[in-house]
Amino acid sequence: QQQVKQSPQSLIVQKGGIPIINCAYENTAFDYFPWYQQFPGKGPALLIAIRPDVSEKKEGRFTISFNKSAKQFSLHIMDSQPGDSATYFCAANDRGTYKYIFGTGTRLKVLA
């Protein structure tokens, strides 16, 4: 119930492609869903986040799609660049707590 399942584990795309990373959860008390980007040796950095009353949120080249009934959400990276190569984590917050439950991460490589 406290898990967030993330797929795929790794992803390789060509420059300009649109990688899609998926996450699924069970706990209906989760009500805030951020995505984090992590470069080697660095801490996770917040990319974009969504609440379940919205089905889509876009910030620059990053878009979250949210399907509340299916309890799934995904990150799309438009016009991906080699500089987007990093590990991406989805996360969820359990309403009434201050902690995040993280997914297992997706290692993205964008080829030049």
Site of interaction with other proteins (CB under 8 A) = 32, 34, 36, 41-46, 49, 89, 91, 93, 97-105
Label residue 79 left, alpha or beta by phi (over 0 means left) and psi (-120 to 50 means alpha).
left
Radius of gyration of the chain (CA): 13
Q: How far is the CB of 112 from other proteins (least distance, A)?
A: 25
Q: How far is the CB of 32 from other proteins (least distance, A)?
A: 6
Identify which of residues 17 and 94 has a Cβ nearer to other proteins in the complex.
94
Identify which of residues 72 and 104 has a Cβ nearer to other proteins in the complex.
104
- C-alpha 28/C-alpha 107 separation (Å) is 27
Identify which of residues 19 and 34 has a Cβ nearer to other proteins in the complex.
34
- C-alpha 38/C-alpha 89 separation (Å) is 8
